[in-house]
A = this chain, B = another copy of it.
Amino acid sequence: MAIQEAQELLEGNGTLPAEADIASLLTRLEGIEARLEQLEESPAQDIENQLAMVVFSGELDKAIAAFIIATGAAAMGLEVSMFFTFWGLSLIKKQKQYADKNILEKGFTAMLPGGSQSLNLSQMNFFGAGSRIIRKLMKDHEVASLEELMAMAQEFGVRMVACDMSQELLGIKDEELLDGVEHGGVATFMGDAAQSKASLFI
């Protein structure tokens, strides 16, 4: 019967606590929704499954470390973005170009590596012998070469961004850079870093 049912529903067969009137339920709900909103708007909610890297160094050993971390993270399902700045731009060069450059820019072009193949080690380089030894060791131990790691990174969809400002300062032309490289500034990096689980400066 209706009355009986209503009573039972309201009282939950006698287990209903005294405070359980609907008005207090509504207040409780409002409190809950306010707390939810606060959580949803908290800075933590910007975090995504991402990794952001600044690649500042232009040395072979650090380049290998950067791309092993990048491909490893991408293989684990993280979205990875690499921001190449200053000497790090050497990693993503495919060639040297002297045309349309002033004397200073030609000097940088001559002195800086023309791509990943000509990077030096940060220590024990011995005029290139160290780099060759590390590359030979990687081959002997069946570790992917830097160039293979870079190709993997591109296949995995790792975002590779060249720093506009560094490119301008060092006089590096877009045609000198690998295909598929994006262009951006510090805001591009910080945008990625601010929603990343980890950020590294290499």
Contact = CB atoms under 8 A, between A and B. Distances in A.
Interface of A: 2-13, 15-17, 20-26, 28-29, 32-33, 35-36, 39-40, 42-49, 51-52, 54, 56, 58, 61-62, 65, 68-69, 72-73, 75-76, 78, 85-87, 104, 111-112, 122-124, 133-134, 136-138, 141, 143, 165, 168-170, 185-187, 189-191, 193-202
Nearest to A71: B186
A56 B150 CA distance: 20
Contact of A86 (B5, B65, B86): B65
A101 to B, nearest CB: 12
Ordered nearest first, which 8 A-B pairs have the shortest CB separation? A12-B23, A72-B186, A198-B199, A44-B44, A193-B198, A200-B201, A44-B47, A6-B6
B13 A23 contact: yes
Given A44-B44, A201-B201, A168 B141 contact: yes
